């Protein structure tokens, strides 16, 4: 692990996040000015134009790039899976990691078409997190270790990074985290996940409520909540979370798979937006008359 990926504590992580640069507005303005010169009516490419400007802003440069795409999938086992919140046993997590490595999962096919680098990171699959209804899912040391593993896995040369995860019990943990930070109870945030029936859905909601009651003091601190509970999906909670964040998804395909599948599909759209932005002729270079004054 490089020194850049070492944290040591959650306090160090908070400091690292606070020091991160924001979007480079100057690069976004250059992208916007370039877009105005392209051989099309203003705004004709809709959100694709905004995507190219977004990419330039967060890459801090113009023209934006989308040649190297990394898809990172983290796999972990959730202790709460023992409470019957999933239609599948916890052993499926390790089996799916083997499927990723053999090239047989959905995300493998999407990455092949996208030409993306797929990196799968198993996180101590033999040791699930604690049952979050009884104790913090992760101690600080384990949470820091997971954050460090994530930082170390990122390809610093990638132009776009797509994040995903796999782990039985994951949507229950995600619902608890969303409820802790955004408010509401378990019934507000849980969904069918891997396909549980009405009884299973009620069980998931009760598990989330129990976790919220046990960890009430962590409900307004994202990192504290993470240690406790750790595109638009078809999961109801994902729709509500996007609304809470005031974000509009690029795609709404009814997915509820995980594995970074939605992110990979969206990355293809970002790549096409950047290709249009960078590759189109300008009015001057093509000898095409611009809009009349």
For the question of whether the overall pTM of this predicted structure is more than 0.85, the answer is: yes
Q: Which residues contact 197 (CB under 8 A, 6 or more apart)?
A: none
pLDDT at 293: 67
Active site residues: 259
Residue 220 has pLDDT above 80, yes or no: no
Residue 3 has pLDDT above 90, yes or no: no
Q: What confidence tens digit (pLDDT) does each residue in 34-86 have? A: 999 999 999 999 999 999 999 999 999 999 999 999 999 999 999 999 998 99
CA proximity to 35, closest of 271, 286, 289, 281 = 281
Are the folds of 3-65+272-286 and 69-267 the same? Answer: no
Q: Which residues contact 86 (CB under 8 A, 6 or more apart)?
A: 168, 169, 172, 193, 194, 196, 200
Peptide linkage before 63 cis (omega within 30 of 0): yes
Indicate the pLDDT class of residue 194, thresholds 50, 70 and 90: confident
Determine the average pLDDT of the residues in 262-284: 97
Determine the average pLDDT of the residues in 134-161: 94
CA distances, 81 to each of 10, 186, 211 (Å)? 26, 16, 13
Domain 69-267 CATH assignment equals 3.40.50.10210? yes
Beta strands in the chain (DSSP E): 69-75, 117-122, 160-166
Among 170-184, 220-234, 274-288, the minimum mean pLDDT is found in: 220-234
Q: What confidence tens digit (pLDDT) does each residue in 120-139 have? A: 999 999 999 999 999 999 99
Residue 142 has pLDDT above 70, yes or no: yes
Domains in the chain: boundaries: 3-65+272-286, 69-267
Query: Regarding the domain delimited by 3-65+272-286, which CATH topology (the fold level of the hierarchy) does it fall under?
Result: 1.10.1610
pLDDT at 31: 98
């Amino acid at each position: 692990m490089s020194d850049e990926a070492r944290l040591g504590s959650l306090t160090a992580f908070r400091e690292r996040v606070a020091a991160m640069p924001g979007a480079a507005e100057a690069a976004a303005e250059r992208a916007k000015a370039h877009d105005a010169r392209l051989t099309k009516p203003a705004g004709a490419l809709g959100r694709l134009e905004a995507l190219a400007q977004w990419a330039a802003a967060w890459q801090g440069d113009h023209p934006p790039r989308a040649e190297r795409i990394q898809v990172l999938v983290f796999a972990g086992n959730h202790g709460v899976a023992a409470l019957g919140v999933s239609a599948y046993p916890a052993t499926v997590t390790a089996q799916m990691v083997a499927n990723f490595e053999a090239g047989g999962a959905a995300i493998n096919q999407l990455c092949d078409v996208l030409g993306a680098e797929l990196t799968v990171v198993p996180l101590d699959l033999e040791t699930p997190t604690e049952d979050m209804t009884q104790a913090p899912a992760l101690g600080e040391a384990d949470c820091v270790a997971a954050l460090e593993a994530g930082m170390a896995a990122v390809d610093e040369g990638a132009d776009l990074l797509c994040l995903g995860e796999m782990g039985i019990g994951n949507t229950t943990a995600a619902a608890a985290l969303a409820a802790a930070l955004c408010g509401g109870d378990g019934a507000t945030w849980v969904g069918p996940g891997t396909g549980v029936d009405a009884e299973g859905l009620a069980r998931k909601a009760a598990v989330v409520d129990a976790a919220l009651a046990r960890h009430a003091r962590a409900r307004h601190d994202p990192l504290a909540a993470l240690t406790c509970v750790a595109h638009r999906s078809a999961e109801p909670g994902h729709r509500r979370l996007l609304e809470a964040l005031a974000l509009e998804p690029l795609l709404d395909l009814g997915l509820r798979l995980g594995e970074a599948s939605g992110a990979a599909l969206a990355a293809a759209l970002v790549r096409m937006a950047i290709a249009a932005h960078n590759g189109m002729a300008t009015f001057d270079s093509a000898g095409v008359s611009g809009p009349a004054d």
